[in-house]
Chains A and B, each alone.
Chain A
Amino acid sequence: MAQPDGLLYSKEHEWAKIEGEVATIGITDYAQNSLGDIVYVELPRVGQALAAHASIGVVESVKAVSELFSPVAGEVLEINPALEKDPATVNRDAFGEGWMYKVKVAGPPADLLDAAEYDRFVASA
């Protein structure tokens, strides 16, 4: 499974697209596929301070509830309003329309993988 280049990935299956000091965060296509039909996403609040790799929300599918972890540290700037009405957007377009929230990044990201590394990580899972 090819992962989009230019993103950073966490071992918790989140992706981060870093542009300047703003990171857009979502879950990977592999994650949405493993979860199945997503029925609810609970996101952090705008203004909330996130620690890297901390549990900050949940994603609920018809099969299970899984935690969301923030791949980077920072402050939440914006959440994707579309997910409240239509959480299945994450299933349809995990790397695009299904983005979850944007963070003003505090400090350089650590312990993240590039596309090729994440590919190998998923293949070995």
Chain B
Amino acid sequence: MYAPHTPTDIREMLDAVGVASLEELLRVPAAIALAEPLAVPPGLPELELNRTMAAYAARNEAVAFTSFLGAGSYRHYVPPVVPAIAMRGEFLTAYTPYQAEVSQGYLQAIYEWQTYVCLLTGLDIANASVYDGATALAEAAIMAVNATGRRALLVSPAVHPNYRAVLRTYARGLEIEVDELQFCSEDGTTGFDALATQLAGERYAAVVAQSPNFFGCIDVPAETARAAIQSSGTVLIGVVAEAMSLGALAPPAAWGADIAAGEAQSFGNPVAYGGPYVGFIATNKAHMRRIPGRLVGRTVDGTGKLAYTLTLQAREQHIRREKATSNICTNQAHCALCATVYLAALGATGLRRCATLNVERTHAMAERVTAVGGFSRRFAAPTFNELAIRVPAGTSGAAVLAALRERRILGGVDLGRWYPDLADCILMTATELTTDAEIDALGAALGAIAKEPQVVRN
């Protein structure tokens, strides 16, 4: 049990504020105060507990469903070497150790994670990780605001809607305005064409683009747009919500990103309800001192031996208090460790092959789905491992997905949830785990659903 205060500590604090007891301090009105103990059943013997929990787990039908879900959370194979190493007692803590330098092994693992993030993004410096991709984006935006002194952001509507929601939450408190770019509804990509005009007033701290974007489309600014970003002194934040794509596509630095922010769950971290996820931030030397959170550096100790240490800590809140670059004070060390082991196990060649397999599987899925009458690709732009599928006229994405669920298939995500104009579209994902049999089952189910009068009403 974590008990930070002794009874003596509590007594001293109560005396200091002048109340007699904790009950008096909290003053829960008698009308709503629980008089009897909480109705928690007594403890169970281990065997009985295991049986009880196994019975609960057996009620979870969704594990047997075939899944084409993605949209920011991706099913990928986790080789056994990942849990074998990550679950070792020496590593099994979610926290950066408080006496960081005592844990040289953990610092080395974080250093290797940072190195992988730099290799994959093409940028110079990466931090020890942040909570998730959405937080990474918000922190990147703060970096850009502080670097430019401008208090507005220009964001692609094809950035993950949840990421944009978190960004707006951060922006509201910091009084940063968030404007949106145009969207090209034929291609499924961001309209960067008017960027030179939009940036001429030097109003924006950053342009935020995501590739592959929320619709799976490869979506990077063209040369002219990048020139407009650079000449106006605007920071380009490149968001990557599916890190697996970095095994096949150009790194954010290659398409002009000054800061890359993204989600690395795909590397060795399974999909679970609500996470945990692991965000990454990388940037170039110009923004090095604005990067939030912990950084591990490699150096030599007093006897000349290789050693790892936390570095550039003067930016952090335990030194700079409210003036810190960020008030993020933790990282996702264990998830980052899983990602590091995963990347080490696959290597550059393995990662490229896995990413390529994602593209191939997605093509196979698209071919089968669009062979069913009435189903078509919504957008023309090339995609990585997910794509928007338009359902037959007269029905909706939500209705088709509900009918698929009855057939034990999780067919994807209803785009109408975030984009009312796309209520006739489903975002479908295939990864290296998607089999031909699953794709056939999906195609057959869609074919049957298309003939059901209760789904298609015209």
Interface residues of A (CB under 8 A from B): 40, 42, 45, 48, 58, 60, 64-65, 67
Contacts and interface: CB of A to CB of B under 8 A. Distances in A.
B320 A65 contact: yes
Interface of B: 149, 289, 314-315, 319-320, 323
Given A45-B149, A64-B314, A40 B289 contact: yes
Q: Which 5 A-B pairs have the closest CB atoms?
A: A65-B314, A60-B314, A65-B320, A45-B149, A40-B289
A59 to B, nearest CB: 10
A42 B319 CA distance: 17
Given A40-B289, A42-B289, A65 B315 contact: yes
Nearest to B324: A65
A64 B319 contact: yes
Q: Quick one: which of B149, B314, B319, B323 has the most chain A CB within 10 A?
A: B314
Contacts of A40: 289
B85 to A, nearest CB: 36
B314 A67 contact: no
Given A64-B314, A65-B315, 11 more contacts: A40-B289, A42-B289, A45-B149, A48-B149, A58-B323, A60-B289, A60-B314, A64-B319, A65-B314, A65-B319, A65-B323
A65 B320 CA distance: 7
12 contacts: A40-B289, A42-B289, A58-B323, A60-B289, A60-B314, A64-B314, A64-B319, A65-B314, A65-B315, A65-B319, A65-B323, A67-B323
Query: Which of A42, A58, A65, A67 has the largest number of chain B CB atoms within 10 A?
Result: A65
A45 B233 CA distance: 12
A33 B124 CA distance: 32
A58 B320 CA distance: 11
Nearest to B146: A42
A58 B321 CA distance: 14
Nearest to A58: B323
A24 B114 CA distance: 41
Contacts of B323: 58, 65, 67
Contacts of A45: 149
A68 B320 CA distance: 13
Nearest to B288: A40
Contacts of B314: 60, 64-65
Contacts of A64: 314, 319
A67 B323 CA distance: 9
Contacts of B289: 40, 42, 60
Nearest to A48: B149
B296 to A, nearest CB: 18
A68 to B, nearest CB: 12
B321 to A, nearest CB: 10
A40 B288 CA distance: 11
A75 to B, nearest CB: 13
B353 to A, nearest CB: 42
Nearest to A62: B314
Nearest to B149: A45
A42 B323 CA distance: 13
Contacts of A58: 323
Nearest to A63: B314
Nearest to A45: B149
Nearest to A47: B149
Nearest to A84: B286
A121 B448 CA distance: 87
A107 to B, nearest CB: 22
A65 B314 CA distance: 6
Nearest to A40: B289
A12 to B, nearest CB: 15
B299 to A, nearest CB: 13
Contacts of A67: 323
A60 B149 CA distance: 20
A58 to B, nearest CB: 8
A64 B289 CA distance: 14
B64 to A, nearest CB: 55
B113 to A, nearest CB: 25
A67 B289 CA distance: 15
Contacts of B319: 64-65
A52 B314 CA distance: 26
A42 B287 CA distance: 11
A16 B319 CA distance: 28
A90 B299 CA distance: 26
A67 B324 CA distance: 11
Contacts of A48: 149
A83 to B, nearest CB: 14
Contacts of B149: 45, 48
Nearest to B314: A65
B247 to A, nearest CB: 35
A81 to B, nearest CB: 14
B406 to A, nearest CB: 60
Contacts of B315: 65
Nearest to A65: B314
A65 B316 CA distance: 10
Contacts of B320: 65
A67 B314 CA distance: 12
A48 B147 CA distance: 13
A14 B319 CA distance: 22
B319 to A, nearest CB: 6
A5 B320 CA distance: 34
